[in-house]
């Protein structure tokens, strides 16, 4: 029997902030304020960060904008990740590497809290697995941060199922953020999503639109041909249907989108109200695979 458990409440879509700053849109404080307020007004109250975004600058830029929005902290949810050490730029690392020592995890969270103008993170994720990670040292850091009220929940990002179990021998993992889309659906075939369901781990996915509208390859052409009639049937755009395809999966995957356009965000939000028919779901998956369902 699979037992249910309570999870931190996040919005049905999560706004990814990776390209809000110098890695993309170069938004100033007022532009970030406007985008934060628009997302919240649309019911998208969860924001996904990582300490490395913008070469360690985007959290601070977002935090300054959030601070000036003059909204209550409990009206939004903040997610961040730590562990990756980028070389050059903001930090003087001689090579890109990972660090999951207790002290580093704690210091990273405290830095994120300072930058984001908040007392706590709703969720902390370990950004990518490291061959040198030690589960009990990680657990010591997470337990300390939870006891201090600096993080409310804990999870992983981009780990395999075996690596997840390795961490879970020391501490419960409640969330896992992976790459998943109609053009990157390996997690649906290698047992990753079933593993999450069996162990009550809530999946989130980055790059949920895949490469459909970016790559001029045969897979994307097949998907576009298959999805075009559905835009009239469901009266929404292609991107919206790609999110609806993800959300039909029984693992209840929460997409983390990267769009910074208010108009595009309005369209994407419609995906939460779509119940895609099963036949349409398999039509798209067959197009993605380039062959009928086995």
pLDDT tens string 53-62? 999 999 999 9
DSSP code for 181: B
Instruction: Give the integer Cα–Cα distance in Å for 138 and 79.
Output: 18
How do beta strands 77-82 and 123-126 pair? parallel
Res 77 pLDDT > 50: yes
Q: How confident is the model at residue 24 (pLDDT cuts 50, 70, 90)?
A: very high
Architecture in CATH for domain 14-173: Alpha-Beta Barrel (3.20)
Res 171 pLDDT > 50: yes
Q: What is the pLDDT of residue 8?
A: 72
Q: What is the pLDDT of residue 1?
A: 35
pLDDT tens string 140-156? 999 999 999 999 999 99
Coil, strand, or helix at residue 203?
strand
In the numeric block, the tokens 């790609």 are attached to 242
Residue ranges covered by each domain of the chain = 14-173
Res 6 pLDDT > 70: no
C-alpha of 93 from chain center: 26
Res 3 pLDDT > 50: no
| Residue 35 near residue 2 (C-beta atoms within 8 A) | no
Res 131 pLDDT > 60: yes
Coil, strand, or helix at residue 175?
strand
Catalytic residue among 53, 100, 175, 234: 53
DSSP code for 70: -
Res 293 pLDDT > 60: yes
C-alpha of 159 from chain center: 13
Q: What is the pLDDT of residue 90?
A: 73
pLDDT tens string 198-221? 999 999 999 999 999 888 899 999
For residue 15, the surrounding DSSP H or E stretch is strand 14-16
C-alpha of 260 from chain center: 15
pTM assigned to the model? 0.96
Q: How confident is the model at residue 2 (pLDDT cuts 50, 70, 90)?
A: very low
Listed residue (74, 77, 119) closest to 204, CA to CA: 77
Q: Is 166 a catalytic residue?
A: no
């Amino acid at each position: 029997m699979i037992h249910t458990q309570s999870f931190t409440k996040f919005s049905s879509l999560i706004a990814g902030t990776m390209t809000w700053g110098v890695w993309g849109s170069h938004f100033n404080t007022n532009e970030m304020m406007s985008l934060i307020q628009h997302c919240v007004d649309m019911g998208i109250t969860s924001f996904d960060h990582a300490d490395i975004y913008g070469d360690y600058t985007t959290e601070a830029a977002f935090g300054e904008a959030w601070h000036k929005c003059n909204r209550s902290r409990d009206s939004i949810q903040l997610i961040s990740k730590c562990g990756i050490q980028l070389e050059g730029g903001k930090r003087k690392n001689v090579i890109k590497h990972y660090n999951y020592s207790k002290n580093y995890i704690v210091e990273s969270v405290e830095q994120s809290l300072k930058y984001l103008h908040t007392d706590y993170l709703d969720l902390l994720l370990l950004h990518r697995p490291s061959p040198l990670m030690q589960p009990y040292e990680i657990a010591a850091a997470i337990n300390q941060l939870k006891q201090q009220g600096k993080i409310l929940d804990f999870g992983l990002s981009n780990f395999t199922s075996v690596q997840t179990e390795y961490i879970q021998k020391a501490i419960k993992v409640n969330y896992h953020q992976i790459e998943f889309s109609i053009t990157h659906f390996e997690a649906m075939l290698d047992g990753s999503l079933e593993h999450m369901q069996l162990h009550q781990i809530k999946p989130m996915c980055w790059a949920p639109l895949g490469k459909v509208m970016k790559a001029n390859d045969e897979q994307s052409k097949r998907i576009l041909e298959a999805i075009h009639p559905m835009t009239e049937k469901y009266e929404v755009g292609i991107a919206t249907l790609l999110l609806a395809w993800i959300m039909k999966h029984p693992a209840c995957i929460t997409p983390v989108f990267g769009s910074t356009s208010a108009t595009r965000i309005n369209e994407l939000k419609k995906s939460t109200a779509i119940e895609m028919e099963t036949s349409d779901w398999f039509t798209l998956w067959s197009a993605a695979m380039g062959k009928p369902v086995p």
